[in-house]
A and B are shown apart, each in its own frame.
Chain A
Amino acid sequence: MDTRQRFPLSIAAEFSRTPGPRTRAEGEHSAEEFLETVLLRRFNEAVASQGVLFVDLDGGYGYGTSFLEEAFGGLARRKGVQLVLDHVTFKSEEEPYLVDDVLSYIREALTGSAKRQR
């Protein structure tokens, strides 16, 4: 069992229940905005405390592939795939398969589908 300190982050409560497109230029509540205003700061806090950022994906209307890829794949491109995998965990009871999808965006952040979609 992981005994490290947990830093909870609910996207619906702390950012938006209606996450938008990939970039700021494309519209409101974008993944780029989420990454730069919320996710990076909260991730840095968790890493500095040797803790885990516990991301709750529930509570919103749904996520576009581009939002999840840009936010979490983008985090992995900036901070490194392994560091992100070591310090971020996900929860989704409403859409459990989302967790696997997000983990694949992180693993493939520097290759594969991330490049294809950009």
Chain B
Amino acid sequence: MKHLQWVTALVLGIAVGALVAQPPVSVQRTIDLDGVASLIVGLALFLGLNLLYQQRSAVASGEKAILIKLANDALDASQGLDTTFGRVHKENPISQGSQEDIYSGLQRYNNAVHTLERSVERCKLAKSKLDLAAILRNREEYRAVLTETPFPIKYDPESYRRQQGHQLAVSEAFVDFILALNRL
């Protein structure tokens, strides 16, 4: 089964040759060495270029998969932060443990965005088509929403609505990024 495609190609070639070699077409009985050489060189070139294309395509698709995974990790980290904020935002004063949960959630989210940014810089995909600006802007703004004064003492009553707005913006920016990546 492994060589089925080659056997099929050979059988088809013989059949086409037999069909073409009907009168008035005549088949040359001698071997044209120039033609054979051109055929072999052409074939070698085709196979070489095809191999190169396949390798590059495999690298690009691997890089895409890695970037999509990193973007999903960052999105998950932002959702973890959303859950933590939902749990602690009514505390007044915010307990030491809850402050640490917010800080460590922020660190996890910021690290995930940082890793994604570095990975985009290093991969060979068309960086100009991948816009990280919205994700980076949201990273800084989200940090400000979650840690702006009066944090770490408490959160303002309207902070929940602001946080939800930013969580939405963060999610949308990641979805846009993943879709753009998928189109490359």
Contact = CB atoms under 8 A, between A and B. Distances in A.
B34 interface: no
Interface residues of A, number: 22
Interface stretch (B22-30, B37-45, B103-111): B103-111
In this complex, the interface size class of chain B, counting residues with CB under 8 Å from chain A, is 20 to 34
Contacts of A27: 150, 152-153
Contacts of A104: 140
The secondary-structure label for the interface of chain B is helix
B149 A66 contact: yes
B128 interface: no
Nearest to A65: B144
A97 B114 contact: yes
A75 to B, nearest CB: 17
B100 A61 contact: yes
Interface in B130-160: 139-140, 143-144, 147-153
Contacts of A65: 143-144, 147-148
Interface string A1-33: 000000000000000001011110011000000
A57 to B, nearest CB: 12
Interface string A76-118: 0000000000000000001111000100100000000100010
Interface of A: 18, 20-23, 26-27, 61-67, 94-97, 101, 104, 113, 117
Interface of B: 96, 99-100, 102-104, 106-107, 110-111, 113-114, 139-140, 143-144, 147-153
